[in-house]
């Protein structure tokens, strides 16, 4: 009935509401729509989504789901006029977007209804080219080969160090912070996280640490500067390595920290007393998880500790889907695994898991702080990269914050020990 009434509407916004309802598979319009003619349709007081161009309709016709909506937003064909979190929360609460896992495809009847409405709005045409920010790794070999992993990492991380400095702030840490309270402040919360990792790993002066996926060197600098460790940091992002080396030199730690552009599978100069892997395991992939653990275990000395800090998918088992917004624009080839899968792989590799700490709520606070940084420095962020890139980061960080708040995603620190050496403290009070 709702769709029939909306179809009789005379304004552009009324008919756009029919399009959105069909795509979402919902009779409840979660947002207010503004058409390119200025007309409005939808519940009063709801967040406003503006459709700027008919090209948005073609994107939804050819990719009627999360990917089409994402492309329309990144390209500027649609925009949001109110709080980003309120808008995405409203959209994600309705229809297919409220379901876990990949969006259900439209039925034949729904596709026909969508086609008719789009035709009536003058939106028919060829599928528009995707925004330039969309990843295409098809020519880089098999998933999770070294060559393809390097291309996937470059897509996400080699978008400009200046851009990341605006989003992350002075800490330059691109992973979940640890907050004493929401008022802690991002930089202090990131320092607390780095310090927590060092304590869990039992770092002391002269200890040899391998930091896998070292980013811009923050963990390496903290471990060397505060604990006297000797650190090898590895990344496969050239831009990260360049800035990390600069920061190491500025900290006066070139004698203690080496930054390498190196795949974790290529490291051969163990043993290490400790290994930190913070926000890197998400790029490994389910099929390579056992090899990843085996490699790190081989690099640890007996009694050495591994700290694996990774995002987990809490909403049940899910397969990799290349047609999601995250896969196309943010983390191509990335895979989020349940905590149990990660713990099982670590134990299967021969390590003893001695502590697991869930930091889900902490990541929601971290992401909200990053979005605030991005929005406060929007013009500079666009100048440092592209408007499309800034839109990608705004959408993905806000959506992920909501996913952490809802419990669909989590993030966990798993501390494990290689048998054969000294034992960790009897209680976690030895490092908290």
Catalytically active residues, by annotation = 400
Q: How many Cα atoms occupy the beta-carbon half-sphere of 154 within 13 Å?
A: 12
What is the rounded distance in angstroms from the CA atom of residue 167 to the CA atom of residue 378?
Answer: 9
What is the rounded distance in angstroms from the CA atom of residue 100 to the CA atom of residue 6?
Answer: 28
What is the rounded distance in angstroms from the CA atom of residue 305 to the CA atom of residue 286?
Answer: 22
Buried b (16+ CB within 10 A) or exposed e, 174-210: bbbbbbeeeebebbebbbbbbbbbbebbbbeeebbbb
Within its chain, how far is the Cα of 33 from the centroid?
A: 28
Neighbours of 224 (CB within 10 A): 24
| Torsions phi, psi for 17 (to 5 deg) | -65, -35
What is the rounded distance in angstroms from the CA atom of residue 110 to the CA atom of residue 384?
Answer: 41
- CA trace torsion 13, 17, 19, 22 (10° rounding): -170
Within its chain, how far is the Cα of 165 from the centroid?
A: 17
3-state secondary structure of 354: strand
What is the rounded distance in angstroms from the CA atom of residue 268 to the CA atom of residue 255?
Answer: 20
Report the sign of the C-alpha dihedral through residues 272, 275, 280, 282, in that order: positive
Alpha helices in 170-279 (DSSP H): 186-200, 218-227, 238-250
By CB atoms closer than 10 A (0-12, 13-18, 19+), residue 133 is buried
Contact present, 54 and 35 (Cβ < 8 Å): no
Query: What is the maximum span of the chain, computed from C-alpha positions, in angstroms?
Result: 76
Cis peptide before 271 (omega within 30 of 0): yes
What is the rounded distance in angstroms from the CA atom of residue 272 to the CA atom of residue 302?
Answer: 9
What is the rounded distance in angstroms from the CA atom of residue 377 to the CA atom of residue 101?
Answer: 33
Contact present, 363 and 373 (Cβ < 8 Å): no
Tell me how many degrees the CA angle 300-158-415 measures, rounded to the nearest 5: 25
């Amino acid at each position: 009935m709702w769709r029939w009434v909306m179809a009789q509407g005379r304004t552009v916004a009324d008919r756009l509401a029919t399009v959105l309802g069909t795509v979402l598979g919902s009779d409840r319009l979660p947002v207010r729509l503004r058409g390119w003619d200025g007309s409005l349709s939808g519940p009063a007081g709801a967040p406003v989504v503006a459709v700027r161009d008919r090209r948005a309709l073609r994107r939804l016709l050819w990719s009627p789901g999360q990917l089409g909506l994402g492309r329309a937003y990144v390209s500027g064909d649609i925009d949001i006029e109110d709080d980003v979190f309120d808008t995405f929360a409203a959209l994600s609460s309705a229809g297919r977007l409220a379901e876990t896992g990949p969006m259900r495809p439209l039925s034949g009847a729904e596709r026909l209804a969508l086609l008719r409405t789009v035709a009536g709005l003058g939106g028919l045409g060829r599928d528009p080219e995707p925004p330039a920010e969309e990843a295409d790794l098809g020519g880089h070999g098999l998933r999770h080969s070294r060559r393809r992993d390097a291309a996937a990492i470059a897509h996400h991380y080699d978008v400009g160090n200046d851009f990341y400095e605006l989003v992350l702030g002075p800490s330059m840490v691109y992973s979940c912070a640890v907050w004493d309270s929401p008022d802690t402040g991002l930089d202090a919360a990131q320092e607390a996280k780095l310090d927590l990792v060092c304590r869990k790993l039992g770092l002391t002066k002269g200890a040899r640490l391998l930091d896998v996926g070292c980013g811009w060197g923050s963990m390496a600098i903290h471990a060397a500067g505060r604990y006297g460790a000797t650190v090898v940091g590895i990344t496969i992002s050239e831009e990260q390595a360049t800035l990390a080396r600069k920061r190491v030199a500025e900290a006066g730690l070139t004698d203690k920290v080496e930054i390498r552009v190196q795949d974790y599978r290529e490291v051969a100069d163990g043993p290490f007393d400790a290994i930190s892997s913070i926000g890197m395991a998400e790029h490994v992939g389910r099929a390579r998880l056992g090899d990843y653990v085996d490699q790190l275990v081989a690099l640890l000395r007996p009694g050495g500790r591994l700290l694996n800090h990774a995002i987990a998918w809490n909403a049940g088992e899910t397969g990799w889907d290349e047609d999601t917004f995250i896969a196309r624009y943010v983390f191509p080839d990335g895979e989020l695994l349940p905590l149990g899968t990660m713990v099982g792989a670590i134990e299967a590799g021969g390590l003893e898991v001695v502590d697991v700490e869930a930091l889900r709520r902490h990541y929601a606070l971290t992401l909200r702080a990053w979005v605030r940084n991005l929005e406060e420095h929007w013009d500079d962020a666009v100048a440092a990269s592209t408007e499309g890139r800034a839109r990608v980061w705004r959408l993905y960080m806000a959506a992920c914050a909501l996913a952490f708040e809802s419990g669909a995603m989590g993030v966990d620190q798993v501390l494990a020990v290689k048998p054969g050496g000294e034992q960790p403290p009897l209680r976690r009070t030895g490092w908290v």
